[in-house]
Amino acid sequence: MLMRTICALTLIVGLALPLHAQDLNRWSLSGSFTGSSNSDGLVTKVDPSLGYAFSNHFSTYVGVPFYFVNRSSNTVTTSTTSGTMNGIGNAFLGFRAGINTDALNYSSTLEFTAPTGDTTKGFSTGRVTADWTNRFSHKVSSLTPFGSVGIANTVSDTAFFVRPFTSLGKVGHFEGGATYDFLRIARVGASAYAVRGSGQQKVFSKVKDSATSGSSGSGKNVFENQKETIAQADAVNDHGVSTWFGVSPTSEVDFHAGYSRSVNYDFNTIFFGVGFHVGR
């Protein structure tokens, strides 16, 4: 664990130092604390990152997440195993390009992760992953419709769902919805989402008791039954809806909380998040 943490922090610092002398005004520091609670337990994540803007249209960022898992009695099946678990996840490096016009706001993000997390805790697959996401939005008065489409070799966490597993395998992911600003600092939103896998999937559970990783359980989902599973595409397939309430007292701080219904996983999830951004 200590070596993984050192490697992750070295990656962030090593990428940042060569750019430091160029322009401090181009740097930004951001982070979030997000969580998802459902019948499998509570999974929270602290997600700090350091960013650098090359221009108004292109930027890069690096960071490393820290997970905290409080598993429910449904997945902890031995009296000698604690229901809590924590550790670092996969260090990430991302590149983002975007344009903002009166007609359309568009961003394209390509994010890579290094296998710095612990596979025995479900925080990593032990392999490099990549996720390419394209997002579109257009503000009309107080209403902002948006949509996103992406491809990846893992099912990534979102602001609405810190997932109870880590996966390795080809997936496509989609989301569409809208937010409505009913006050200068407050908004509500709703969206529908879908994840579709392709081919073989390798799933590492964050919530399954590792002491019984070789045994099967009675859960509906593979990550509720085994610590590590090789499965077909439908193991990661999902679709559902989310709704939330958000408050941004300043442009640097954001709070949100809401409800998400996963149809495939049969989850009713309460989620929350606190985020900050300092710099460009």
pLDDT digits (tens, 9 = 90+) for 36-77: 999 999 999 999 999 999 998 999 999 999 999 998 766 555
In order of 7, 54, 200, 265, 274, the CA distances from 84 in angstroms are 24, 41, 30, 22, 22
User: How much is the pTM?
Assistant: 0.84
For the chain, which residues make up each domain, given as ranges?
2-279
How far is 111 from 93, CA to CA, in rounded Å? 6
In order of 51, 96, 108, 274, the CA distances from 113 in angstroms are 16, 15, 17, 23
pLDDT digits (tens, 9 = 90+) for 218-262: 578 999 988 999 999 999 999 999 999 999 999 899 999 999 999
What lies within 8 Å, CB to CB, of 223 at 6+ separation is 122, 164, 165, 203, 204, 205, 206, 207, 208, 229
Domain 2-279 annotated CATH 2.40.160.40 = yes
pLDDT value at residue 76: 53
pLDDT value at residue 159: 86
Residue ranges in 229-277 assigned as alpha helix (H): none
